[in-house]
Homo-oligomer: A and B are copies of this chain.
Amino acid sequence: VGQQRLIFDGLQYSDWNRGVFEGWREGGIACVHVTTVIWENARETLDEIGKWSRLFRAHDDLIFHARTPEDVANAGSDDRVGVILGFQNASPFEDSLDFVQIFHALGVRVVQLTYNNQNLLGGSCYEDSDSGLSRFGRLVVGEMNRLGMVIDLSHVGDRTALDAISVSERPVAVTHANAKWFRDHPRNKSSEVLAAVAAGGGVVGAAPYPHLTPDGTTLESWAAMVARLVEELGVEHVAIGSDVSENLSNAYLDWIRMGRWTHARDYGAGTSAHPHWAPWPSWFQGPADFVRLLEGLSKVGLSDEDVAAVAGGNWRRFFGEAFAPGDDHATADDLIGRFISVTRDGKTP
């Protein structure tokens, strides 16, 4: 009867294999939210979910599919690591409101509303201009609320993020980003967005990912950033999302950044001077070093209780509540009233 492992990682995106899963367990990880797709459409996403169903079968001594509040509550109490399946884009929904329910039924529990480009739902942090949540986007948020699917705002534009927080009747997440005051990067979050996520009961996963931290970031300076977030947002709203990628090539990075939307070089979170996968800092070489992050948080003054909350307690509480189904009694007419603020009827003759 071992102790329950604590650590939840807010996001990883790797070429998955047994070695990765063994690394999780050795790193003391209880549960990981994994990215299954970034640009893929519905058909391609079914392939990825199919691959995960085979991974769950082949490695059932190391991992399990975490999709219920109970799964989240129990993660880390046996040898297996819980895996939460997520999308970094709403692209698998294509143009269909029905597809939200379909992917929920297949066990997907986290969907980032946009990846790096504008989509049918809203605007991205990399676009010049952000529309806010579209008509379809508002309906998708309502459907995700109903089903118990987490709205992730990490790559989402500020205006769409604030719209989503306002429209969502349930708390939302930023699974993997830092504060813009730590590093001024489009992928990091303004204080307004961070405060709104926390005010709505949501959680922000701070990232050691090098493109999202200033050059020369040390464990101490990263931990100090987390400590300041704890102070500003409240300890229950801060967690970790490592943004770790294992076994992905630089060629694969082109897919991640350029998808099919451009034929010219796009550097994503990188730059021409740093076009490739960024080298991880000495103090965080991968999941085995989670424990060092926690030591860093202790050193900058967080209590053991607060370190435990940031390390996993907050994600455990948040995902546990988020995966419970929402109100299933809203009718289509309720939805249209709640989520389409401008109906065509009435506004113009």
Stretch at the interface among A2-10, A89-97, A103-111, A284-292: A89-97
User: Oligomeric state, in number of copies?
Assistant: 2
Cβ-defined contact, A348 with B264, below 8 A: no
- Residue A82, interface by CB 8 Å: no
Cβ-defined contact, B139 with A261, below 8 A: yes
- Residue A178, interface by CB 8 Å: no
Chain B residues, CB < 8 A from A267: 343-345
Cβ-defined contact, A134 with B127, below 8 A: yes
CA distance A193 to B340 in the complex (A): 26
Of A95, A118, A139, A269, chain B has the most CB atoms within 10 Å of the CB of A118
Cβ-defined contact, B128 with A130, below 8 A: no
Chain B residues, CB < 8 A from A270: 344
Cβ-defined contact, A261 with B96, below 8 A: yes
| Band of interface residues on A | 35 or more
Partner of A95, one of B91, B98, B269, B332: B91
> A117-B136, A123-B131, A127-B134 are known contacts. Are A261 and B344 too (CB-CB below 8 A)?
no
Residues 96 to 140 of chain A near chain B (Cβ within 8 Å): 96-98, 117-120, 122-123, 126-132, 134-137, 139
Chain B residues, CB < 8 A from A120: 117-120, 261
Minimum CB–CB distance for A304 against chain B, Å: 36
Residue of B nearest to A118 (CB): B134
Of A95, A333, A342, A343, chain B has the most CB atoms within 10 Å of the CB of A95
- What would 14 A/B residue contacts be, using CB atoms closer than 8 Å? A41-B94, A95-B261, A117-B120, A118-B135, A129-B131, A130-B131, A136-B262, A139-B261, A139-B263, A264-B333, A265-B332, A266-B343, A270-B344, A271-B348
